[in-house]
Amino acid sequence: MKKIIMILIAVLMLVSRPPRAHASDCDVDRGPCVAVTGRTEVTLDISPKPVKAMKELFFVVTVRGANVRGPLLLELSMPGMYMGRNEVALKRSPEGSFSGRGVIPRCPTGGKLWQADLTIPGTGRLTYRFHVDR
Amino acid sequence: MSIAESIYLLMFSSGLLGGIGHCAGMCGPVVAAYTLGFRLPADDIRASSLPQLLYNAGRVTTYSVVGGIMGMTGSFAGVVTYIERFQNMTMAVVGGIMIVLGIASAGLISWRVHDAGSRVTAPVSGFISRVIQFVSQTHTPGSVYVIGMATGFIPCGLLYTAYIAAAGAGATAGHPAEGFLKGMAMLFLFGIGTTPALFFIGHMAARKGEWIRKRLYMLSSLMMTAIGVIFIYRAFRG
């Protein structure tokens, strides 16, 4: 009986635990996340802060060192857990940055780490990882 | 293919992929629990398939209606604020039912009202037995459909993403009614996409249920109870 209970606990821990922990790239609550590809520096900022799940968020991307044409696409996902396709269309603002609105859903498993994949036409794809408040 | 058509196809494929990669792990225990609890006939495919279809129809109904509301308002955050508390309550109730079914299937309390009182104190067992009887022995098609509708409210990250897409589509619609129809159609297709995986789990649980009960009844009962506890914990953690 003890063996069965131990197996049961192990199975449950495996099934119910949050997705495997990955290191976050930046603390998005403190400031923008920065990624560099070649000579291009791309920052991603999310507001309002602290960044919370299930709230409407404002995403701003600033590209330095490259001439970007066309809209940017930001894909939000949770590492280790399929959460469907969650895309934020970023449009160019008069200041030259790209912005758009989106929502990060809450995962009932308790996972807080999220990933934003930014596709920049002609430059490539950049990945940001950050923690989100539940 | 137009952009509108591709959105609907994307929702269906998202449900189909998510059904395998997400729902099977997250909602599979609920499906397995109600299937085991209902003791669906394993040898009669038609008799065991009908409750599965009705359960999924109930779930898809909830998704479609909430998706319609998301599309009509064009705001995910606005609508979810109102339904979140109800979702957590549903999760707690489903968790409670799983605990009761788990304890009952382990034989720790009686399945039948007239046997109540044999193992635990009479007033408590009487109440619990009535709950068990209601949950496990109400086999009408309507009750399975209602259970499906209720479980459609269980909080789910994949489902939230689908609602976000519906709200986004509704925000660009010309009229609230158009937004409602768009959101409803999107979530309907998403729900249909998730059905094969959950139907398969339910069907397997029905087929293997007797085998599991005979050989590993204590283990499966404990697992059902433990998953119920996890559901309640998640519901109150928020």
Average pLDDT over residues B73-94: 85
Q: Which residue has the higher pLDDT, B236 or A50?
A: A50
Contacts of B76 in chain A (CB under 8 A): 56, 103
**Which among A12, A55, A83 has CB closest to B158?**
A83
pLDDT band (50, 70, 90) for residue B130: low
Query: Which residues does residue A78 pair with via DSSP β-bridges, in sequence order?
Result: A81
Pairing label, strands A72-78, A33-37: unpaired
pLDDT of residue B113: 44
Average pLDDT over residues B202-231: 73
Give the three-class secondary structure for B93.
helix
The full set of domain ranges for chain B reads 3-237
Interface of B with A in 30-49 (CB under 8 A): none
Q: What is the pLDDT along chain A (134 residues), one digit of tens a residue?
A: 555 555 554 554 444 444 443 445 789 999 999 988 888 889 999 999 999 999 999 999 999 888 887 788 899 999 988 888 899 989 888 877 999 999 999 888 888 899 999 988 878 889 999 999 87
Nearest chain B alpha carbon to A53: B77
User: What mean pLDDT, rounded, does chain B reach?
Assistant: 78
My answer on whether omega of the bond before B196 falls inside 30° of 0, hence cis, is no
Is B3 near chain A, with CB under 8 Å?
A: no
**Which among A11, A106, A110 has CB closest to B160?**
A106
Q: Which residue has the higher pLDDT, A106 or B64?
A: B64
Q: Which residue has the higher pLDDT, A85 or B68?
A: B68
Q: State whether the Cα torsion A43-A45-A50-A52 is positive or negative.
A: negative
Contacts of B25 in chain A (CB under 8 A): 15
The residues, ordered by sequence, that sit 6+ positions from A13 with a Cβ below 8 Å of its Cβ are: none
Contacts of A109 in chain B (CB under 8 A): 26, 157, 234
pLDDT band (50, 70, 90) for residue B131: low
The residues, ordered by sequence, that sit 6+ positions from A40 with a Cβ below 8 Å of its Cβ are: A63, A64, A65, A66, A120, A123
- Gap from A10 CA to chain B (nearest CA, Å): 11
CA-based max dimension of chain B: 65
- Gap from A125 CA to chain B (nearest CA, Å): 22
- As for the ipTM of the complex, it is 0.74
**Which among A11, A15, A83 has CB closest to B161?**
A83
B222/A5 CB distance under 8 A = yes
pLDDT of residue B117: 44
Interface of B with A in 193-222 (CB under 8 A): 218-219, 222
Question: For the whole model, what pTM was predicted?
Answer: 0.77
Average pLDDT over residues B99-108: 74
Nearest chain B alpha carbon to A56: B77
Contacts of A12 in chain B (CB under 8 A): 223, 226-227, 230
Q: Among A93-97, B216-220, B233-237, where is mean pLDDT lowest?
A: B216-220
Is B230 near chain A, with CB under 8 Å?
A: yes
- Gap from B220 CA to chain A (nearest CA, Å): 9
B157/A108 CB distance under 8 A = yes
pLDDT in tens, B29-49: 777 776 666 666 666 667 778
**Which among A8, A102, A109 has CB closest to B226?**
A8
A85/B75 CB distance under 8 A = no
pLDDT of residue B144: 79
The residues, ordered by sequence, that sit 6+ positions from B58 with a Cβ below 8 Å of its Cβ are: B144, B145, B146, B147, B148, B149, B150, B151, B152
pLDDT band (50, 70, 90) for residue B116: very low
Residue whose pair of structure tokens reads 């139907």 in the numeric block: B199
pLDDT band (50, 70, 90) for residue B119: very low
B234/A54 CB distance under 8 A = no
Task: Please report the domains of chain A, with CATH numbers, ordered by start residue.
Answer: 17-131 (2.60.40.1930)
Q: Among A95-109, B81-95, B155-169, where is mean pLDDT lowest?
A: B81-95
Nearest chain B alpha carbon to A7: B219
